[in-house]
């Protein structure tokens, strides 16, 4: 919400905002470029691996081949820019999953007392039956940290949300496109009337982000309850090439073989749709970082060529990762969730804080700043995020692998 609010007001994405934080020139963007390049390759590869396992369970083809096919399909969609029909189809399948898992969560709901105990912030113990499964460790943080990183959206998703604002043309981002810093002259001369219009668009982002957060919490909680009530009760730990069929028990426990098949189809569709989103987002992030850190790269290649260069790189890394981890989808997804979800998130919280309360006042005219000055509550949320995710990064992440 905070990063998107900055983009609505200034018209530039989060990477350009990060380039303006105090300190040595572009130090934060360089840090982002190095870490996110590795995170991007692993994250995109993990989705292709997981989607390949689901597709393999449906078709009988080898998981590695299915992972490669998912990669090629998603890249072709992003390269062509034709999303509309795919969005509709994928959205329908995702709705099926959401409605189904909400129903199962209600059916297996353990009661308010058990739910209350689960919210007491106690570290759970990995049960003995789970330890007997391959890939499961007695350290519960190996399961908790990937979930936290995935549920929080990750560093990249926060950046992509600012790209969504730019693509939608909200506020000062209207008509500007991608790959451009803010128009400093326009911001310094922003009138009161324009500031009021921008504030209206900023309120739209507040509503959108809040709805997304609420939906995310509800759906994630439903999956936790359904997984516990079905897989936990049956003492099943999803792992290896059977992960899709094991997870399908969540649906088949209520709707038989058809329910399991529907879950695998919808799951494959959801993963492929997410892969398309990743391939649309990561190249934009890295192209922005290269443009800022290596100006000659931006001068030599136009934005679309930059974007497609990174698509080509990720095609190669995906092929390698899917080949290497095609039979270990859970491991690579966990690794991806930790690297992208936790590694730079504390820094990101501080960078966005500086962007809102240090950078933004310097960019705006005095009249516009009076109208668009961010509320102090954002500083509380961002500082809290820094300490929460900082704790996970410093005290838990080094000991999970």
Instruction: Report the pLDDT value the prediction gives residue 346, as an integer from 0 to 100.
Output: 95
The tokens describing 168, both together, are 């939608």
Which one, of 131, 141, 162, lies nearest residue 284 by Cα? Answer: 162
pLDDT band at 239 (very low <50, low <70, confident <90, very high): confident
Task: Specify the residue for token string 């700043």.
Answer: 369
Task: Specify the residue for token string 């390049």.
Answer: 37
Q: Is the pLDDT of residue 112 over 80?
A: yes
Which residues, including other chains, have CB under 8 Å from residue 297's CB and lie 6 or more apart?
A: 290, 291, 306
Lowest-confidence segment of 78-82, 168-172, 177-181, 220-224 by average pLDDT: 78-82
Instruction: Report the pLDDT value the prediction gives residue 343, as an integer from 0 to 100.
Output: 87
Rounded to whole angstroms, how far apart are CA atoms 93 and 266?
5
Mean pLDDT of 271-294: 92
Rounded to whole angstroms, how far apart are CA atoms 29 and 96?
39
Contact yes or no for 50/335 (Cβ under 8 A)? no
Query: How large a percentage of the chain has pLDDT more than 90?
Result: 68
Which residues, including other chains, have CB under 8 Å from residue 15's CB and lie 6 or more apart?
A: 29, 32, 159, 285, 288, 289, 292
Instruction: Report the pLDDT value the prediction gives residue 143, as an integer from 0 to 100.
Output: 87
Q: Report the chain's C-alpha Rg in angstroms.
A: 22
Mean pLDDT of 272-284: 91
Going through 94-219 in order, the beta strands assigned E by DSSP cover: none
pLDDT band at 326 (very low <50, low <70, confident <90, very high): confident
The mean predicted confidence, pLDDT, of the chain is: 92
Instruction: Report the pLDDT value the prediction gives residue 210, as an integer from 0 to 100.
Output: 95
For the chain, the distance separating the N- and C-terminal CA atoms, rounded to the nearest angstrom, is 32
Instruction: Report the pLDDT value the prediction gives residue 358, as an integer from 0 to 100.
Output: 97
């Amino acid at each position: 919400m905070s990063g998107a609010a900055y983009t609505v007001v200034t018209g530039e994405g989060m990477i350009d905002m990060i380039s303006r934080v105090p300190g040595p020139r572009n130090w934060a963007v360089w840090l982002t470029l190095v870490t996110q390049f590795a995170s991007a390759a692993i994250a995109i590869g993990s989705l292709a691996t997981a989607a390949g396992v689901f597709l393999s369970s449906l078709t009988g083809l080898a998981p590695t081949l299915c992972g490669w096919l998912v990669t090629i399909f998603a890249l072709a969609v992003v390269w062509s820019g034709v999303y509309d029909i795919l969005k509709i189809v994928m959205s329908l399948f995702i709705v099926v999953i959401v409605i189904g898992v909400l129903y199962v969560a209600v059916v297996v709901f353990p009661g308010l007392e058990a739910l209350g105990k689960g919210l007491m912030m106690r570290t759970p113990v990995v049960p003995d039956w789970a330890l007997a499964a391959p890939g499961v460790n007695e350290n519960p943080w190996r399961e908790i940290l990937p979930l936290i990183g995935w549920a929080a959206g990750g560093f990249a998703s926060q950046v992509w949300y600012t790209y969504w604002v730019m693509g939608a043309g909200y506020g000062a981002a209207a008509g500007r496109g991608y790959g451009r810093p803010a128009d400093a002259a326009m911001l310094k001369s922003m009138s009161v009337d324009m500031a009021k219009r921008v504030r209206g668009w900023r309120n739209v982002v507040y509503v959108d982000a809040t709805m997304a957060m609420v939906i995310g919490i509800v759906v994630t909680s439903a999956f936790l309850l359904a997984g516990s009530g079905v897989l936990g009760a049956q003492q099943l730990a999803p792992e290896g090439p059977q992960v899709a069929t094991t997870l399908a028990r969540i649906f088949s426990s209520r709707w038989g073989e058809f329910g399991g098949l529907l879950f695998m189809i919808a799951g494959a569709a959801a993963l492929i749709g997410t892969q398309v989103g990743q391939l649309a987002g990561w190249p934009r992030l890295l192209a922005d970082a290269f443009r800022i850190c290596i100006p000659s790269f931006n001068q030599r290649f136009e934005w679309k060529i930059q974007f497609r260069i990174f698509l080509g790189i990720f095609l190669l890394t995906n092929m390698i990762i899917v080949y290497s981890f095609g039979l270990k989808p859970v491991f690579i997804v966990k690794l991806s969730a930790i690297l992208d979800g936790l590694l730079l998130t504390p820094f990101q919280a501080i960078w966005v804080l500086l962007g809102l309360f240090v950078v933004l006042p310097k960019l705006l005219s005095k009249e516009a700043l009076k109208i668009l000055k961010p509320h102090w509550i954002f500083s509380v949320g961002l500082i809290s995020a820094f300490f929460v995710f900082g704790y996970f990064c410093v005290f838990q992440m080094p000991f999970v692998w």
